[in-house]
Amino acid sequence: MAHRVMVIEDNYDLLFLYETAFAQFGYEVSRAQSSDQAITLLKSDAQTPEVVILDIEMPGTPGTSVVDYIRSQSDLDHIKIIVVSANDNYRTKVQGRVSEYMLKPVGITNLIGRADALLDIKRE
């Protein structure tokens, strides 16, 4: 069974990079380009992700609303959240509610390694 990740990123190039890399490492990937789209997917998705890769600064609704939504739902509260942001100012706002907070630019191998570690995936 493939592990599931949701990538939430408004920058299409980064979204494509993350999506492609995670798929190459055997993850089943869903994606959203806004917080509102992500929340809609989380409400309706039968394939709940195990890990969410989240850009915190996006046009419209901020990524913090995704954190708030996930943590308010008992059936989603187990999801690991990795924030990937260019802005360190949100770290204290989500502290204790996310699994990782990484500053851009992020090496893709490092990002996948953090997701693997959170899910206890061992690669050779």
What is the rounded distance in angstroms from the CA atom of residue 1 to the CA atom of residue 89? 37
Number of domains, the chain: 1
Give a yes or no: residue 40 inside a domain.
yes
> Taking the complete model, does pTM exceed 0.75, yes or no?
yes
What is the rounded distance in angstroms from the CA atom of residue 24 to the CA atom of residue 35? 25
Give a yes or no: residue 68 inside a domain.
yes
- Write out the chain's pLDDT in tens, 124 residues: 789 999 999 999 999 999 999 999 999 999 999 999 999 999 986 789 999 999 999 989 999 999 999 999 999 999 999 999 999 999 999 999 999 999 999 999 999 999 999 999 998 7
CA-nearest of 16, 17, 103, 115 to 56 is 103
- What pLDDT is recorded for position 59? 86
Give a yes or no: residue 23 inside a domain.
no
Give a yes or no: residue 111 inside a domain.
no
Give a yes or no: residue 76 inside a domain.
yes
Give a yes or no: residue 123 inside a domain.
no
Q: The tokens of 67 are what?
A: 């954190």
Give a yes or no: residue 77 inside a domain.
yes
The boundaries of the domain holding residue 69 are: 35-46+64-81
Give a yes or no: residue 9 inside a domain.
no
